[in-house]
């Protein structure tokens, strides 16, 4: 059990039988009465936000969450398939659960899948992923209007801004947290 006073950002607890992660926790001490905790939390299954206020002394059951190292296999319709690298068990996540992570999913990419009990509910990407550039417009030397970057399309279909020397067919490293170009991959 987790006391409401122990909650902080990124704490994972069960609320109404569902796993939630705390987005924000604020302590409020009114002039009279017991202290209050205003909590903003995100449902780990549905992604919805919930605002609730709790009195000090209340407690929660901690969520039984675990992460497993998995490998991305393929996607079909709105389902993404992954395989456990140790047991070779396969799990499937819906497009809503994958969300923006789909912009980084390439064959055989190893990542962490978040489980609630035996149910897969989310993805944790590696911080950096190497992706191939499939379309890059030529950059005209002296073109100061467009600045120091140009748009490119990556193999997953995502568009990002890169330095002008990046050309079609090259591999680049992209930061999955900021969605930004990091460096060109050495051959």
Give per-residue pLDDT as tens, 63-105: 888 889 999 999 898 899 999 999 999 999 888 788 888 899 9
The class that CATH gives domain 128-184 is: mainly beta
Per-residue pLDDT, 146 = 55
DSSP helix/strand/coil, 74: strand
- In terms of CATH architecture, what is 65-124? Beta Barrel (2.40)
Per-residue pLDDT, 90 = 92
Answer yes or no: same fold for 2-62 and 65-124: no
Per-residue pLDDT, 98 = 83
The class that CATH gives domain 2-62 is: mainly beta
| Percentage of residues in the chain having pLDDT higher than 90 | 36
Sorted by where each begins, the domain ranges of the chain are 2-62, 65-124, 128-184
Q: Are 13 and 58 in contact (CB under 8 A)?
A: no
Q: Would you call 96 exposed, middle or buried from its count of C-beta atoms within 10 A (0-12, 13-18, 19+)?
A: exposed
């Amino acid at each position: 059990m987790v006391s409401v006073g122990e909650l902080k950002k990124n704490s994972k607890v069960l609320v109404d039988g569902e796993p939630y992660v705390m987005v924000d926790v604020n302590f409020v001490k009114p002039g009279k009465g017991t202290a209050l905790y205003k909590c903003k939390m995100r449902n780990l299954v549905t992604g919805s936000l919930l605002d609730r206020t709790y009195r000090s002394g209340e407690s929660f059951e901690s969520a039984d969450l675990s992460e497993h190292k998995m490998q991305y296999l393929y996607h079909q319709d709105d389902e993404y398939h992954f395989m456990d690298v140790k047991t070779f068990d396969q799990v499937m996540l819906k497009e809503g659960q994958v969300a923006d992570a789909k912009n980084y999913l390439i064959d055989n990419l190893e990542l962490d899948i978040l489980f609630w009990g035996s149910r897969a509910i989310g993805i944790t990407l590696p911080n950096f992923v190497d992706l191939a550039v499939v379309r890059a417009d030529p950059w005209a030397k002296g073109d100061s209007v467009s600045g120091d970057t140009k748009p490119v399309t990556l193999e997953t279909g995502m568009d990002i801004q890169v330095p002008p020397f990046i050309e079609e067919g090259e591999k680049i490293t992209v930061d999955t947290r900021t969605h930004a170009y990091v460096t060109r991959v050495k051959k």
